[in-house]
Amino acid sequence: MSKKLFYPCAGKDWKDAFHYFQKEIDEFIFCDLQYKFNFKNLKNFEINHEEFERVSFFIKPFVKIHDHTSNIENIKLIPAEYIQFIKYKTSNIRKKIIFKIQSGQDCLDQFNENEIYVFFHRGDSTGEGGSDLHFFSDKRNSSGAAENLYSKLIKKLAPISYVVSDGSNNEIIERQNLNLKNMTDEQISNEIIGKKNFTYQNFQWFCVKRLNDRYGPTLVWKVVRDNPFKIDKPL
């Protein structure tokens, strides 16, 4: 099965996600409401890694379908997508990279169960410029446009998956009171990476790695579903 990385509200930070997971991941899905695909800015989505060459690319336009037959209010939106296939210059291993102009919550809905191998989300907030999306709780966001994201996300995560987070908009990490901002790099490396683990609902979280900082240290958590039949009340 192809391994997928999903980064909602990615902005320009998709480059770091690609950089860190280019070897392991087959398909990258980045979405952001503010992406624009026109000839002037398509170069912003180019993969400038020496070892890759582009095989093909195409753009699917944004489509609005009005279903007049049943209800004039019934509008289906198909998001714009910029899809690229690249390959290693030295082998035939291909990668698919999809950029979507779509909300993070709608994009999440489109994944099948157990399909997301890496869930990457950081640098976000509830303030101005932030998405106010909470993928690690079921609470409704302030505009009312998204809720129950955690319950949806856990169904889409592979039984063994990786969650990358700098703690922003992440209520599960918040509950651990890790106090990372007051720790030195050495303390984080000695006490957190490879050491910190906890269980939340029927998932075990193990801290396996640190990436570059965003709003705080970005940690990679291996998230293992232990007993699919045990369901506690979410946050």
**What is the contact surface with ligand SAM in residues (CB under 6 A)?**
8-13, 31-34, 103-104, 122-125, 129-131, 133, 214
User: Per-residue DSSP letters for the chain?
Assistant: ---EEEEET-GGGHHHHHHHHTTT-SEEEEE-TT---STTTGGGG----TTEEEEEEEEEPPEEEE-TTT-TT-EEEE-EEEEEEEEETTS--EEEEEEEES-HHHHHHTSPTT-EEEEEE-S--SSTTS----TTS-PPPTTSS---HHHHHHHHEEEEEEEEE-STT-HHHHHT---GGGS-HHHIIIIITTT-EEEETTEEEEEEEEE--SSS-EEEEEEEE--TT--PPP-
| Closer residue to ligand SAM in complex, CB, 191/220 | 220
Q: Nearest distance from residue 114's CB to ligand SAM, in Å?
A: 23
Q: Nearest distance from residue 189's CB to ligand SAM, in Å?
A: 23
Residue of 103, 109, 125, 87 whose CA lies nearest to 33: 103
| Closer residue to ligand SAM in complex, CB, 132/174 | 132
| Closer residue to ligand SAM in complex, CB, 32/115 | 32
| Closer residue to ligand SAM in complex, CB, 198/215 | 215
Q: Nearest distance from residue 211's CB to ligand SAM, in Å?
A: 12
Q: Nearest distance from residue 69's CB to ligand SAM, in Å?
A: 30
Q: Nearest distance from residue 134's CB to ligand SAM, in Å?
A: 11
| Closer residue to ligand SAM in complex, CB, 13/115 | 13
* Distance in angstroms (rounded) separating the CA atoms of residues 9 and 134: 11
Q: Nearest distance from residue 232's CB to ligand SAM, in Å?
A: 27
| Closer residue to ligand SAM in complex, CB, 34/70 | 34
Q: Nearest distance from residue 8's CB to ligand SAM, in Å?
A: 6
CB atoms within 10 A of CB 24: 11
| Closer residue to ligand SAM in complex, CB, 181/230 | 181
Closest residue to ligand SAM, Cβ-based?
Answer: 123
Return phi, psi of residue 123, to 5°: 65, 20
